[in-house]
Structure 1
Amino acid sequence: MTPLYARHKRTTLAVATAVAAGALLSTGLAAGTASAQTPADSTGNAQLAAAPTSLTAAARTSLLQKAQADVSETAQQIGLGTKEKLVAKDVVKDVDGTVHTRYERTYAGLPVLGGDLVVHTAKSGRTEGVTRATKTALKVASLKPQITAAKAEKQAVSAAKTLGSAKTAADGARKVIWAGSGKPVLAFETIVGGLQDDGTPNQLHVITDAATGKKLFEYQGIENATGTGKTLYSGTVSLTTTLSGTTYSLTDASRGSHKTYNLKHGTSGTGTLFTNTTNTWGTGAASSSTTDVTAAADAAYGAQETWDFYKSTFGRSGIKNNGVGAYSRVHYGSSYVNAFWDDSCFCMTYGDGSGNTHPLTSLDVAGHEMSHGVTSNTAGLNYSGESGGLNEATSDIFGTGVEFYAANSNDVGDYLIGEEININGDGTPLRYMDKPSKDGGSADSWSSTVGNKDVHYSSGVANHFFYLLSEGSGAKTINGVSYNSPTSNGSTVTGIGRAKALQIWYKALTTYFTSTTNYKSARTGTLSAATALYGSGSAEYNAVAAAWSAVNVS
């Protein structure tokens, strides 16, 4: 980790992705420049017709509502029995208009475990096929149990004890139809809570034949719940948590099982998973206590929004794009004015700041730091010279994207970096994307010596490029913040919008940038990305060229 340091009376967001770990505050001048790299063939392939298309929340809700309204007709079309009903659960729409709707099934009002299915519908509305969890027809002779629920519970508790649970009673039981294997039968599903070795809450589900008392199946599961986070920086927000029995934890199973841990001012290990008997987290105010939950609420919210930003904007499932969540640690050290991403633990760590009451857990810090993990797992930009500046700028760009994506009224989207954490003590942000030199050290445009600057200052060239590409040059006000972006060549640049600018940068990062990409090759890479996405000579392509020229990169 790098030591704390302030140059030009300000601090810098940082992380060293070329090594195992990095920190929010950084020192040292990165010497040397990176060699140019020729990007790969820029020919873009047409999007596959069967690829999933991005759905807005409203569009997804509309499709699900329609599917639910039509369940009787759908059940009849696919040949379900009169006692069977469908419950719409999820929907995916392809580029060519094909819709894949996932359903749960009930039989005589009882949930059918192993009865789920997916109906594939063409754009015309014609049903093209059905994918079923079981092909066995549902028919159960009797819905009256021959054993008691208490007997099923005893068996389930015994099974849970062999797995380390200390529970003496089940958390719940219900009658179901078991269709997961063999002939469908009436059964009891009994749930016994407990904790895994790492402190993760879990629920053992035991399926017992309601006629014979035979155990049919068991599996470990966790239950998502919607909690309330009272954060320091983002106000009151919804958090996805996990319920096991009567205990909630800051575990987000819907986002790769991201967990938030408490280091209690320690500096090593994973820490203790945050748990609570209620599903409300934090007070909205910071506290120096090691039991403070507010910082954890901010950290969990930041991880949640960063995951959703990448998923919604780029279709990327987690930092490594493998569906696996990182984890977050808060209350690191004592009065530690820093935060960092660490590849070696695949985790995000936050200090509590001055007096242990100013945690560095704001939304754009979370997005910035975790984006270093994305860079590490894609282009792997070396953390030195011009490639280091591009590394830092990438995190600023995507951290800004996360902030705008979250659309949080307490921390509105802007082109300022670290404006909420107020490390400078005077209300000023760490960096300005419209005119980077306003921070006293960053470069507005490229020069032959820019690679000799600290990577947080050489990042200014790419940050300025991104702002110009998104919003254009000159004076304007966005979300209540005034900007006035100059150009090095006196040109007027017209922006193409942040959404397109983000797509171009991500495409370049993941397809055309390499570990030694410098500013000249970043220009080439983003032009290749614009060609692949929008076509050579398109308005977007021309805007990329103009924005780079405006920061003296040719």
Structure 2
Amino acid sequence: MSNTSGIPRSTRTRRTMAASGAVAAAAALLATGLTTGSAGAADAPSSATAVKLSASQRAELLRDANSSTVKTASTLGLGAQEKLVVKDVVKDADGTTHTRYERTYAGLPVLGGDLIVHEAKSGKVKSVTKATKATIKVASTKAKLAPSAAEKAAVKAAQADDAKLAKAEKAPRKVIWAASGTPVLAYEAIIGGVQKDGTPNELHRITDAATGKKLFEYQGIENGTGASQYSGEVELGTSKEGSGYALTDADRGGHQTLDLKNSESGEGQAFSDDDDKWGTGQADDPQTAAVDAHYGAALTWDYYKSVLGRDGIKGDGQGATSRVHYGQNYSNAFWDDSCFCMTYGDGEGNTHPLTSIDVAAHEMTHGVTSATANLTYSGESGGLNEATSDIFATAVEFNAKNSEDVGDYLIGEEIDINGDGTPLRYMDKPSKDGRSLDNWDDNAGDADVHHSSGIANHWFYLASEGSGSKEINGVTYDSPTADGSKVEGIGREKVEKIWFKALTTYMTSNTDYAAAREATLKAATDLYGADSAEAKGVDAAWAGVNVK
């Protein structure tokens, strides 16, 4: 898949869209919205709050960091063969910068070697957060195993998972595997094709370059005037093109919504409309799903920019792409880094498009996670990756203040995924879906990432609203704790900011639940103080899900 063209040089317009009710669908990657927080103002002390950087300001900080990577590596005491590659930067109001780096060794990418340098306004390094504490060093960068052997094993693994048309898109690359244990020379093979449910396949398999042993594997695809199907009358950003209009939002980085016409490949075609009145609110009009997807993307962009100060998914002001009508009867949605896009199926019978607000926000947030902590989509880090999308999908839905889709702590409630009116996931007690985990235990890393995400989702609810029974926006919740303790919520808006700061300044690719607790405690301390009610509330909520 590939991305589409950028902002057309045309006149931007806005039109209101009319709508109808919700429909049933099924999706493995859904996330949902949120309701009123329980306590007080969400404003944090200004000194530790990230400032809103313009594209030029961010570019300048990145240039500065790139110009001093050798000096930074020396300051950190890295080895002579190690080099730093700048990935992202966040700046606090007090001048502190948090610069995220990838690492190479002898020119090879170091997987699991990412780190974040926290530097005071004076230029002094305050601390460093590393994905691994191991020294990056291998005896030799000459592989004993042929790359073809690593590729063959990876294709075989994909076929064992019932992937169709499984094949490597390119030869395996040599890497240093440092995400667990002692760093070793390895191959990373990426296998394409199609997963058994119709989702594109992007299986990453890491193989020891000396022994051929599988070290790790994970999926790179993270399953995500007109009429909207789910959200009532909505306003869209469109652009004048020729004699008509296109779904291109110049106010939001040129975000485009494209039509795949039920294909499973290609970039998609632009939607066009003569009078700028889109859709009918019914799934049989191809424009309707596009309206919902375009609207959801706009809400998500606005939330990240106005609430969290992030200008677009990568923080660079560039819009992504939404693609609707993927495949036939495809009951899923997904984010794909390779095309920088969200993709939505039409559900069973091609009548239930997965384009509600929460799905759009969930998928777009996978892009934000990829551009920041890049939480590996497997094990506990994969559960945290999924939970991050659920958390901010919840935040976006609440922030939208849409009367047709009010905020709640239910995941996927609008699309009736189970066909009986029940949601996909529950944040107050995740196990109510029959699969998700309420609390952490030693086996959490072995669970599907959509189920281990329940631990962080439960933490988010407890930290926001507290334990026990209550009604919010007409929905009744009753959240337990692992040890029966009572947790007092500190307010959803504060918890959103704490999680975002932890994600962007303290989490790395290898972060597990114990490290997530540490990251959020650091974030709460930065924002509200070490002895604050907020920091204590964060800690109590983690204890409530058995992360201590």
Task: Please say whether Structure 1 and Structure 2 have the same fold, judged by a TM-score greater than 0.5.
Answer: yes
1:45 shift after superposition: 8.8
Question: 2:443 matched to which residue of 1?
Answer: 449
Question: 2:28 matched to which residue of 1?
Answer: 13
Question: 2:86 matched to which residue of 1?
Answer: none
**One-letter amino acid of the structure 2 residue matched with residue 275 of structure 1:** S
Whether contact under 8 Å (2:322, 2:342) holds in the other structure is yes
Q: Residue 388 of structure 1: SS of its match in structure 2?
A: helix
Question: 1:271 matched to which residue of 2?
Answer: 268
Unaligned 5+ runs, structure 1: 2-9, 15-23, 26-43, 54-94, 97-227
Question: Relative to structure 1, is the Cα distance of residues 488 and 232 closer, same or farther in structure 2, using a 3 angstrom cutoff?
Answer: same
Q: Residue 226 of structure 2: SS of its match in structure 1?
A: strand
Q: Residue 314 of structure 1: SS of its match in structure 2?
A: coil
Q: Take 2:232 and 2:49, find their aligned partners in 1: how far apart are those partners?
A: 41
Q: Take 2:316 and 2:246, find their aligned partners in 1: how far apart are those partners?
A: 23
1:479 shift after superposition: 1.0
1:13 shift after superposition: 3.3
Q: Residue 489 of structure 1: SS of its match in structure 2?
A: coil
Q: Take 1:470 and 1:229, find their aligned partners in 2: how far apart are those partners?
A: 36
Question: Relative to structure 1, is the Cα distance of residues 450 and 12 closer, same or farther in structure 2, using a 3 angstrom cutoff?
Answer: farther
Question: 1:283 matched to which residue of 2?
Answer: 280
Aligned pairs for 1:311-326 (under 5 A) are 311-326=305-320
Q: Take 1:334 and 1:485, find their aligned partners in 2: how far apart are those partners?
A: 39
Is the aligned partner of 1:230 residue 2:227? yes
Question: Relative to structure 1, is the Cα distance of residues 46 and 388 closer, same or farther in structure 2, using a 3 angstrom cutoff?
Answer: same
1:450 shift after superposition: 1.3
Q: Take 1:487 and 1:295, find their aligned partners in 2: how far apart are those partners?
A: 39
Q: CA offsets per residue over residues 496-532 of structure 1, 9 Å max, x none?
A: 1111000000000001111111111111100000011
1:244 shift after superposition: 3.2
1:536 shift after superposition: 0.5
Q: Residue 280 of structure 2: SS of its match in structure 1?
A: coil
Question: 2:543 matched to which residue of 1?
Answer: 549
Whether contact under 8 Å (2:226, 2:277) holds in the other structure is yes
**One-letter amino acid of the structure 2 residue matched with residue 336 of structure 1:** Y
Question: 2:257 matched to which residue of 1?
Answer: 260
Question: 1:242 matched to which residue of 2?
Answer: 239
Question: Relative to structure 1, is the Cα distance of residues 299 and 549 closer, same or farther in structure 2, using a 3 angstrom cutoff?
Answer: same
When the two chains are superposed, the root-mean-square deviation of aligned CA atoms in Å is 2.4
Give the TM-score normalised by structure 2.
0.61
Aligned pairs for 1:376-395 (under 5 A) are 376-395=370-389
Q: Take 1:458 and 1:263, find their aligned partners in 2: how far apart are those partners?
A: 32
Is the aligned partner of 1:301 residue 2:282? no
Q: Take 1:498 and 1:46, find their aligned partners in 2: how far apart are those partners?
A: 21
Give the TM-score normalised by structure 1.
0.60
Q: Take 1:384 and 1:11, find their aligned partners in 2: how far apart are those partners?
A: 22
**One-letter amino acid of the structure 2 residue matched with residue 364 of structure 1:** D
**One-letter amino acid of the structure 2 residue matched with residue 355 of structure 1:** G
Question: 2:432 matched to which residue of 1?
Answer: 438
Q: Take 1:522 and 1:455, find their aligned partners in 2: how far apart are those partners?
A: 15
Aligned pairs for 1:499-510 (under 5 A) are 499-510=493-504
Whether contact under 8 Å (2:445, 2:452) holds in the other structure is yes
1:491 shift after superposition: 1.1
Question: 1:426 matched to which residue of 2?
Answer: 420
Q: Take 1:230 and 1:426, find their aligned partners in 2: how far apart are those partners?
A: 25
**One-letter amino acid of the structure 2 residue matched with residue 280 of structure 1:** K
Q: Which structure would you say has the larger Rg?
A: 1
**One-letter amino acid of the structure 2 residue matched with residue 346 of structure 1:** F
Aligned pairs for 1:474-485 (under 5 A) are 474-485=468-479
Whether contact under 8 Å (2:428, 2:461) holds in the other structure is yes
Q: Take 2:251 and 2:347, find their aligned partners in 1: how far apart are those partners?
A: 30
Aligned pairs for 1:172-187 (under 5 A) are none
Q: Take 1:503 and 1:48, find their aligned partners in 2: how far apart are those partners?
A: 9
Q: Residue 258 of structure 2: SS of its match in structure 1?
A: strand
1:245 shift after superposition: 4.7
1:421 shift after superposition: 1.3
**One-letter amino acid of the structure 1 residue matched with residue 235 of structure 2:** S
Q: Take 1:426 and 1:249, find their aligned partners in 2: how far apart are those partners?
A: 37
Question: Relative to structure 1, is the Cα distance of residues 401 and 265 closer, same or farther in structure 2, using a 3 angstrom cutoff?
Answer: same
Q: CA offsets per residue over residues 36-81 of structure 1, 9 Å max, x none?
A: xxxxxxxx992599x569xxxxxxxxxxxxxxxxxxxxxxxxxxxx
**One-letter amino acid of the structure 2 residue matched with residue 397 of structure 1:** I
Q: CA offsets per residue over residues 394-422 of structure 1, 9 Å max, x none?
A: 00000101100111010111111111112
Q: Take 2:378 and 2:502, find their aligned partners in 1: how far apart are those partners?
A: 19
Aligned pairs for 1:96-175 (under 5 A) are none
1:270 shift after superposition: 1.4
Question: Relative to structure 1, is the Cα distance of residues 482 and 468 closer, same or farther in structure 2, using a 3 angstrom cutoff?
Answer: same
Q: Take 2:446 and 2:311, find their aligned partners in 1: how far apart are those partners?
A: 35
Q: Take 1:514 and 1:450, find their aligned partners in 2: how far apart are those partners?
A: 19
**One-letter amino acid of the structure 2 residue matched with residue 309 of structure 1:** Y
Question: 2:405 matched to which residue of 1?
Answer: 411
Whether contact under 8 Å (2:26, 2:416) holds in the other structure is no
Aligned residues: 345
Whether contact under 8 Å (2:26, 2:331) holds in the other structure is no
1:469 shift after superposition: 0.5
1:266 shift after superposition: 1.0
Unaligned 5+ runs, structure 2: 2-24, 32-44, 54-92, 95-224
Q: Residue 528 of structure 1: SS of its match in structure 2?
A: helix
Aligned pairs for 1:32-111 (under 5 A) are 46=47
Question: 1:349 matched to which residue of 2?
Answer: 343
Q: Residue 262 of structure 2: SS of its match in structure 1?
A: coil
1:451 shift after superposition: 1.2
Whether contact under 8 Å (2:27, 2:333) holds in the other structure is no
Q: Take 1:325 and 1:400, find their aligned partners in 2: how far apart are those partners?
A: 21
Q: Take 2:280 and 2:511, find their aligned partners in 1: how far apart are those partners?
A: 45
Identity of aligned residues (%): 65
Question: Relative to structure 1, is the Cα distance of residues 358 and 508 closer, same or farther in structure 2, using a 3 angstrom cutoff?
Answer: same
Whether contact under 8 Å (1:45, 1:532) holds in the other structure is no
Q: Residue 243 of structure 1: SS of its match in structure 2?
A: strand
Whether contact under 8 Å (2:26, 2:415) holds in the other structure is no
Q: Take 2:52 and 2:311, find their aligned partners in 1: how far apart are those partners?
A: 14
Question: Relative to structure 1, is the Cα distance of residues 229 and 316 closer, same or farther in structure 2, using a 3 angstrom cutoff?
Answer: farther
Q: CA offsets per residue over residues 412-468 of structure 1, 9 Å max, x none?
A: 111111111122111111100000000001111111111111111111110000000
Whether contact under 8 Å (1:229, 1:298) holds in the other structure is no
Is the aligned partner of 1:358 residue 2:359? no
Q: Residue 523 of structure 1: SS of its match in structure 2?
A: helix
Question: 2:63 matched to which residue of 1?
Answer: none
